[in-house]
Structure 1
Amino acid sequence: MLVAERYEKIVSLVNERGAIRVSELSEIFQVTEETIRRDLDRLEQAGRLRRSHGGAVSVKESYSEIPYTEREIAYAEEKKRMAQAAIKLIGPRDRILLDASTTAWYMASEVPDDTLTVLTNSIKVATELSGKEKIEVISTGGLLAQRSLSFVGPLAERSLESYHVSKLFLSCKGIHLERGISESHELQARIKQKMISIADQVILLADSSKFGVKAFTHVADLSEVDVIVTDRHIPKDVLEQLQDRGITVITA
């Protein structure tokens, strides 16, 4: 395969998936990871993708939300393991808040039917929990964001002001050591800021492809995060720097 042809296929894969790891590309193209890193560096210089820790993300998706159906299958196994690890952080009779991320939906599908109060802005999460009789489910309502199947906007934000939760479980589009947590859409960023403000403990659910990414809209500094649940592919240097900042990192 010619180098130019490999470049085109790499860009196509990144745009199709939203993000991809160096190790995956190395396996797909049967070249060394160092070769893939050089390819990604050149493609970033050409403005065709953006480098992240351990991989690359699509510039095509930088300013828009990825549809829920696409997010649902991206890094599915990692997200399921992360969800199972996050569930272990829930205590008896907790009042928790789940955002509209796919990992939160996996949590909703796996959480035992025990006495629990769940506040959410996600249609998928609320529907998943509706069959669990012991769990009290509260929906924010608000403006429906169709691509993410979530409620956002002023009504949803004002609804959150009425509550206080012990734990917030949320995800994001990007995590950067300096810029903090970021989102692709302003309304999503604003409601997540409100979520953080009403929670005692903030637990960030993020697979390793999110690290090093600066998405469009800033949500919060990492100083506001207490725990990060991620997968085992998180870069070692990033893991150490997060721990140095006092953030508990759980790898699933």
Structure 2
Amino acid sequence: MLVAERWQKIVQLVNERGSIRVTELSELCQVTEETIRRDLDRLEGEGKLRRSHGGAVSVQSEGTSEIPYLVRETTNAEQKRDIAASAISLIQPNDRIILDASSTAWYMAQILPDVPLTVVTNSIRVTMELSTKEKIQVISTGGRLTSRSLSYVGPLAERSLRTYHVDKAFLSCKGVHPERGVSESNELQALIKQKMIEIADQVVLMADYSKFGQQSFAHVADWEQIDTVITDRQTDPAYIQQLQEQSVRLIQTGG
């Protein structure tokens, strides 16, 4: 198989399946995993796919559909864990908080100390993670279940959120644009996050470097609605400066 044919086959497989791992591509293309990794780096540079931890994700699925939760969970996992730890430092005992259905919020739930808190969430994974912590009261929004994100969305979930008021909302997103604000790939998720922002005194946006400079399908919020952004040290300094000009508090993880 010629190199160009292999690249075409890789893109075709990624688009057909939505995501695929390096090990599987290596077997299907009959080349080493190292060769596949180089191929994926090149194809990502050409905008034909997006790298994830251990594989690749189709960029065709990034319009109005969501990337499957298990794929998001392993994408930039180290950065997300650092961001989650930094977010937890902003929580005080007896706070009422919201955690969205992002993988970063799930990382927060994993390490959230068992102290008196009220947590409102639309995430099944967050709910399950917090179920063993006796001092934390967990409130699930209910609503229509989406299997790709393992979360509740829709009118019932939105009405549920309107009945509450919280101190802090911890949210992630698909796109962070210095001028156009925060966006999501899926309109239903965007609507849920808008409601979360409306009922919170403080809004903390958690976004790793890969989210910056992106504008996704559905608008979530303008910068005047966001109090704090937590990101990692790989985020382009130009984006950091632009957000600081928006009077947003910036927290960067790592050394």
Q: How does 1:126-141 map to 2 (within 5 A)?
A: 126-141=127-142
Question: CA 1:145 to 1:6, structure 2 compared with 1: closer, same or farther past 3 Å?
Answer: same
Q: How does 1:91-170 map to 2 (within 5 A)?
A: 91-170=92-171
The higher relative CO (CA closer than 8 Å, separation ≥ 6) is in 1
Q: CA RMSD in A?
A: 2.8
Q: Compute the displacement of 1:181 (Å).
A: 0.9
Q: How does 1:190-205 map to 2 (within 5 A)?
A: 190-205=191-206
**Deviation per CA, 1:138-171, whole angstroms, max 9, x where unpaired?**
1111111111111110000000000000100011
Q: Compute the displacement of 1:247 (Å).
A: 0.8
Deviates more, 1:212-221 or 1:157-166: 212-221
Q: Compute the displacement of 1:4 (Å).
A: 4.7
SS in structure 2 at match of 1:200: strand
**Is 1:238 paired with 2:239?**
yes
Equivalences, count: 229
Q: How does 1:1-252 map to 2 (within 5 A)?
A: 4=4, 16=19, 29=38, 40=45, 43-44=46-47, 48=48, 58-252=59-253
CA distance in 1, matches of 2:5, 2:233: 31
Identity fraction in percent: 57
Question: CA 1:16 to 1:162, structure 2 compared with 1: closer, same or farther past 3 Å?
Answer: same
Could you tell me which amino acid in structure 1 is paired with residue 144 of structure 2?
Answer: L
CA distance in 2, matches of 1:126, 1:97: 11
Q: Compute the displacement of 1:127 (Å).
A: 0.8
Question: CA 1:83 to 1:192, structure 2 compared with 1: closer, same or farther past 3 Å?
Answer: same
Q: Compute the displacement of 1:92 (Å).
A: 1.8
Question: CA 1:3 to 1:226, structure 2 compared with 1: closer, same or farther past 3 Å?
Answer: farther
Q: Structure 2-normalised TM-score?
A: 0.80
SS in structure 1 at match of 2:176: strand
Q: Compute the displacement of 1:75 (Å).
A: 0.8
